[in-house]
Structure 1
């Protein structure tokens, strides 16, 4: 797995993803995860800067994270409560953590950072090995907007704003969906511009159902609706 979240991305990640930090959105996500975890432990794959892990831990759920980017991890550690959350540095497709978990979860399309079928299957296998009987693997992903693509077009814009815009490049055959974000900010000292490319891979509903069925082993599962990543 390639680390797409180095220092240049981590330094502005929370600011550039401000809409994902809206209190109502965070609270609703944490509500669902806290219910799924119950009295057990939770494992976040790609814990990042702690957007969900910190409020979930504040609810009393013991949270452990896996994170490849040391730059993102440094931002988590700098936040109140961040030093108390255990984190294992590594690729969440293959990294195992000691003990078992009632809940493992991926939020904000993180599963798409695994850019091959083998890596995504390995992720499900690793999670299955770490869940308690009856445990749950929750995955939050976008529904790829493939139906919006006219014949011959592969590019769709998203996240358009006065100082930030982005595009996804879809290849339905290979399932590659790299995204590129351009950011331009002006301050008293002048203009600041950045380009953040990110490799991603979508997953179709049939594939998600097949993989989750193979690795469920008595764990709870719910089939996705429509195309999923």
Structure 2
């Protein structure tokens, strides 16, 4: 399972990424577009197949990106307008680009793909380095509910038909704040495994990482619709400002 920590790990999912049940990016695109000043420069960390970046660029926003998966980047390049976006192939935690940027963003829990706290801090510090003074960093992430686990494990059936089953196996490491997933699909064609490991962070931990990167929390919402973040929230969209 060591490949789970490789930035190119998501090559294995590139062929299906845009056809699976990923969230509609419209609300995220509208939220982000409203934060970009006229002529502003924008960076997406883990740009992937351009699910957010391509429609944002269609609005006239100058979007650039970093992506660790060559296969994801190939999918982006094949989309109309995707080949026009400047993208650096590499580990997003290194933030190996030259600023300054007016906005950087990291969506769909992707911060948690980094293997440990050190690399997550590296990312915040790198973003702080390339943001212009007053520039913004937007992070979308879930809030882990520990009630999901029984003795730090969970098994769930996601879908059953007369000739197939999809199940999910999770193992929680409370010390590392990590969850290792194995999504298993069994049908007439055989068995397919879709592993994933996430190192989650609590919102307060993210705020401290931001401070280490020269950023401060400006807003935290429950989602892209700017609903209030509360004790019952299971996700958040946090906006940090370069000080």
- Fold shared, TM-score > 0.5 on shorter chain: yes
Show the counterpart of 2:226: none
Which of 16, 19, 22 does residue 12 from structure 1 map onto?
Answer: 16
Give the count of matched residue pairs. 216
Larger strand fraction of residues: 2
2:76 is the alignment partner of 1:76:
yes
Which of 218, 229, 232 does residue 221 from structure 1 map onto?
Answer: 218
Kept after mapping to 2: 8 A contact 1:63/1:85: yes
2:172 is the alignment partner of 1:173:
no
| Pairwise CA RMSD | 2.4
Q: Structure 1: which 5+ residue stretches go unaligned?
A: none
Kept after mapping to 1: 8 A contact 2:101/2:135: yes
Q: CA deviation at 1:145?
A: 1.9
Q: CA deviation at 1:220?
A: 5.8
1:100-119 matches, within 5 Å, as 100-119=100-119
TM-score (norm: length of structure 1)? 0.84
Kept after mapping to 1: 8 A contact 2:67/2:88: yes
1:63-212 matches, within 5 Å, as 63-150=63-150, 152-155=151-154, 157=156, 160-162=158-160, 164-184=166-186, 191=189, 193-212=191-210
Rate the CA distance shift 1:153–1:98 in 2: closer, same or farther, 3 A: closer
Rate the CA distance shift 1:213–1:222 in 2: closer, same or farther, 3 A: farther
Tell me the secondary structure at the aligned position of residue 31 of structure 2. helix
Rate the CA distance shift 1:204–1:194 in 2: closer, same or farther, 3 A: same
Kept after mapping to 2: 8 A contact 1:135/1:220: no
TM-score (norm: length of structure 2)? 0.80
Instruction: Report Cα offsets for 1:35-74 as digits up to 9, x if no partner.
Output: 1223211101100011000000001110001001001100
Instruction: Report Cα offsets for 1:121-147 as digits up to 9, x if no partner.
Output: 000000000111111111111121213
